[in-house]
Structure 1
Amino acid sequence: MELQSFYRDTWAEINLDHIFYHVQSLINILPEEVKVFAVVKANAYGHGDVQVARTALSAGANFLAVATFDEALSLRQKGIKAPILILGATRPQDAALAAELDLTLTVFQLDWLKQANEELNKSKRLRIHLKIDTGMGRIGIKSGKEIEEIEEYISEHSAFYLEGTFTHFAQADSLDKTYYNQQLSTFEELLKSFKQRPEIVHSSNSAAALRYPEGYFNAVRFGISMYGLTPSLEIEPELPYPLKQAISLKTKLVHVKKIQKGEKVGYGSTYEASGEEWIGTLPIGYADGWIRKLQGQEVLVDGQRVPIVGRVCMDQTTIKLPSSLPVGTEVTLIGSQGAEYISVNEIAKKLETINYEVTCMVSNRVPRVYIQGGEIVEVSNGLIS
């Protein structure tokens, strides 16, 4: 018997046309010589790594970027052959495998290079990008002396190829440009320390790429806005083109019941009916990333906003219905239904967090349904391979 793609009435829809649109829209505002890294770390911010990677590359992205070695390995195992930059730290003992898989590693320590050199098969050069910390305070070198030492070591050891260098802005999504300008100036000054500037120089994240041409150099990293989400609400009016949210989160009613005044709902009995009410049960909960703090958040059913009542459980959530509705009625938690719309930003506001965290929280047990040209083109289920 052939297995279905998934067996529960909860899923996330990913509009690949919107991903494609955002990559092409960015390319259209960039100078021709500026290349694009499509950032697909954290399972493409919860949207699906390989599906987004393929779409971004088909739209014209030149490279991919991830956070960890495992994320890069996953893409290679799924058939992605494009250049992949690992933005985070990689263990020196994994350098040989990185070279074999043609992965590009981020480096920010001379000692790391010395340890990695002992691991490398000298027949395969390891491509590296040197990370410069200009004020983010995470990983990265901070001085021209460090650049000179690392560049000299690389020149003496043929196992390495210094392909690129980059930094990361801490406040490019702020209306106040002061700290951005300070970081950019520091980066430009440190670039002078290279005897030979690497061929790829990149500093801009989504916020900077959409707002500050002076920081382009010859490559930019496109992350959150590739998914149709603004880097911050305050800069939204400054964006050069409209963003189209790529993700929707949907489920269906699995049970509907009438309760009377005084009856309670959920753990802790935190909700009590004020009169005769219809309660609907949804097969989604905090194990799916729809967390307890969303109690009271509205969802869309029958084209109307209705509230979550009672505590969100691990696997189920209850809502107050406007009337008796049939089991199987579709409910939208994120996205549009009729004239109503619930954005990722609305959920982020409820959770007192940012949109990045909301999409990354959608767990792997929520199937992803990929839409292109208005049709389902793929279904991915993290629990059924």
Structure 2
Amino acid sequence: MSSRTIVTIDREAVRRNVASVFARSNKQIFAVVKNNAYNLGMIEMVATLMEAGVRHFAVAEVYEAIEIKTNFPDSYVLAMNPASHFKEVRLHGVALGIPSLDWLTRHQADLSGIELHLKVNVGMNRFGVSSLQEALSVLETVREQDLALTGLYTHFPLADEPGADHDGQVERFLEITDVLRTKQSFPYIHAENSATIVKHDPRLAFCNYVRPGIFLFGYSPIEKMDWLIPSLRMTTEVVEIRQVEAGEHVGYGTSYTAPETIRVAVLPVGYGDGVVRGRSSLPVIINGKRYPIISKLFMSHTFIAIDSTVQIGDKVVLYGDGIEIDDITRTGTANNSEQMCARSWRLTHRYL
């Protein structure tokens, strides 16, 4: 038996987004598919991306990389979090990010036969070398141990912040990479994430790959992009209708008090299914008309103020038909990646 809340994922939208990213960057794509491909389904999304011509993928953890390599042996996969399961990494042909000089020093004897990508820290302070001296020490260790250093990358932490110091981040990246590139050849250089691709920064022309994530699935961490096609649609249905008198409360406590006699529809979905509470900042759609969410979202239920035309069994659009994940994010009450990753897989999922 399937759930009454249905998530539909449009693979053609993903393929068209890949084509749009390629056309705008004119570079090969290193697709970020961490966290179950933004919770759209790792195997289905990697298959879709490969159909669109993508062969290179970036994930957070080694187990994600192994899942991809097992199912798509012709793919190239980079695991970016600090790794330790080197036997499995080598067996499956997974590339690893170098998160720090200390990590490389501790594990240098275990890294033979593994491709490595050096990360440069330009301000996030999560992973990466932060100075030219550290980077040159990495290069020295790599040569002493005869290791395979094939990639160079960074992540711009302020790329999607209005008025952020983009120039400063790029300059910090160049201070290190300009020197390293005179001393070492790097087949893979990737720095431009989704938010940076649209900047078309000529100083990053030497990067031969872009590394988008959420753009590929139709969503933007920055301003609205009319050329992106949302890939996710979520619908549910009305399971109960109540009449609530003026002055009565709806939901736990007194978070909502009816200002007059109203009709309230109950939906069988809530934050336990991954509909984040910030979703209540925008309405839902029933029979082509918009209706507001009232009260706080419950774990398994949501309340909607409706008119006399809505009936039990009517389909309700939570995401889609002009109310998209990005729209909710831009109200300041949620985050687009958070909304995608929060969704529960106990809901019925379908692929177009």
Contact kept, 8 Å, 1:26 with 1:210, in 2: the verdict is no
In the alignment, the residues of structure 1 paired with residue 281 and residue 247 of structure 2 have an alpha-carbon distance, to the nearest angstrom, of 18
Deviation at 1:176, TM superposition (A): 4.2
1:21 counterpart = 2:12: no
In the alignment, the residues of structure 2 paired with residue 37 and residue 110 of structure 1 have an alpha-carbon distance, to the nearest angstrom, of 24
3-state DSSP of counterpart to 1:112: helix
Contact kept, 8 Å, 2:233 with 2:319, in 1: the verdict is yes
1:355-380 per-position Cα deviation (integer Å, ceiling 9, x unaligned): 22222222332332212xxxxxxxxx
In the alignment, the residues of structure 2 paired with residue 297 and residue 201 of structure 1 have an alpha-carbon distance, to the nearest angstrom, of 40
Q: Which residue of 2 aligns with 1:98?
A: 89
Counterpart selection for 1:317 from 298, 302, 314? 302
In the alignment, the residues of structure 2 paired with residue 87 and residue 199 of structure 1 have an alpha-carbon distance, to the nearest angstrom, of 17
Q: Which residue of 2 aligns with 1:225?
A: 215
In the alignment, the residues of structure 2 paired with residue 262 and residue 186 of structure 1 have an alpha-carbon distance, to the nearest angstrom, of 59
Contact kept, 8 Å, 2:124 with 2:157, in 1: the verdict is yes
In the alignment, the residues of structure 2 paired with residue 129 and residue 172 of structure 1 have an alpha-carbon distance, to the nearest angstrom, of 21
1:107 counterpart = 2:94: no
Counterpart selection for 1:344 from 312, 325, 330? 325
Query: Within 5 Å, which residues of 2 pair with 1:16-165?
Result: 16-31=11-26, 34-79=27-72, 81-90=74-83, 92=84, 94-119=85-110, 122=112, 125-158=113-146, 160-165=147-152
Structure 1 vs Structure 2 CA RMSD: 2.4
Contact kept, 8 Å, 1:23 with 1:56, in 2: the verdict is yes
Contact kept, 8 Å, 1:22 with 1:228, in 2: the verdict is yes
1:21-78 per-position Cα deviation (integer Å, ceiling 9, x unaligned): 11111222334xx321111112222322222222122112230111222322333454
CA gap 1:327/1:77 in 2 versus in 1, 3 angstroms: farther
Q: Which residue of 2 aligns with 1:357?
A: 338
Letter of the structure 2 residue corresponding to residue 29 of structure 1:
R
3-state DSSP of counterpart to 2:304: strand
1:263-298 per-position Cα deviation (integer Å, ceiling 9, x unaligned): 432111433444443222111111112234544641
In the alignment, the residues of structure 2 paired with residue 175 and residue 312 of structure 1 have an alpha-carbon distance, to the nearest angstrom, of 30
Contact kept, 8 Å, 1:134 with 1:183, in 2: the verdict is yes
Deviation at 1:106, TM superposition (A): 0.6
3-state DSSP of counterpart to 1:271: coil
In the alignment, the residues of structure 2 paired with residue 145 and residue 263 of structure 1 have an alpha-carbon distance, to the nearest angstrom, of 67
Structure showing greater relative contact order (alpha-carbon pairs closer than 8 Å, 6 or more residues apart):
2
CA gap 1:188/1:293 in 2 versus in 1, 3 angstroms: closer
Counterpart selection for 1:281 from 240, 246, 266? 266
1:366 counterpart = 2:352: no
Query: Which 5+ residue runs of structure 2 have no aligned equivalent?
Result: none
**TM-score for both structures, normalised by structure 1:** 0.82
Contact kept, 8 Å, 1:86 with 1:104, in 2: the verdict is yes
Deviation at 1:83, TM superposition (A): 0.8
In the alignment, the residues of structure 2 paired with residue 80 and residue 256 of structure 1 have an alpha-carbon distance, to the nearest angstrom, of 52
In the alignment, the residues of structure 2 paired with residue 243 and residue 347 of structure 1 have an alpha-carbon distance, to the nearest angstrom, of 16
In the alignment, the residues of structure 1 paired with residue 200 and residue 245 of structure 2 have an alpha-carbon distance, to the nearest angstrom, of 58
3-state DSSP of counterpart to 1:264: coil
Letter of the structure 2 residue corresponding to residue 183 of structure 1:
Q
Contact kept, 8 Å, 2:283 with 2:292, in 1: the verdict is yes
Counterpart selection for 2:179 from 189, 193, 201? 193
Structure 1 stretch displaced more, 243-252 or 66-75? 66-75
**TM-score for both structures, normalised by structure 2:** 0.89
Contact kept, 8 Å, 1:95 with 1:116, in 2: the verdict is no
Query: Within 5 Å, which residues of 2 pair with 1:230-269?
Result: 230-233=220-223, 236=224, 242-269=227-254
The percentage of counterpart residues that share the same residue type is: 29
Letter of the structure 2 residue corresponding to residue 30 of structure 1:
S
Q: Which residue of 2 aligns with 1:331?
A: 316
Q: Tell me how many residue pairs correspond in the alignment.
A: 348
Deviation at 1:351, TM superposition (A): 5.3
CA gap 1:296/1:152 in 2 versus in 1, 3 angstroms: closer
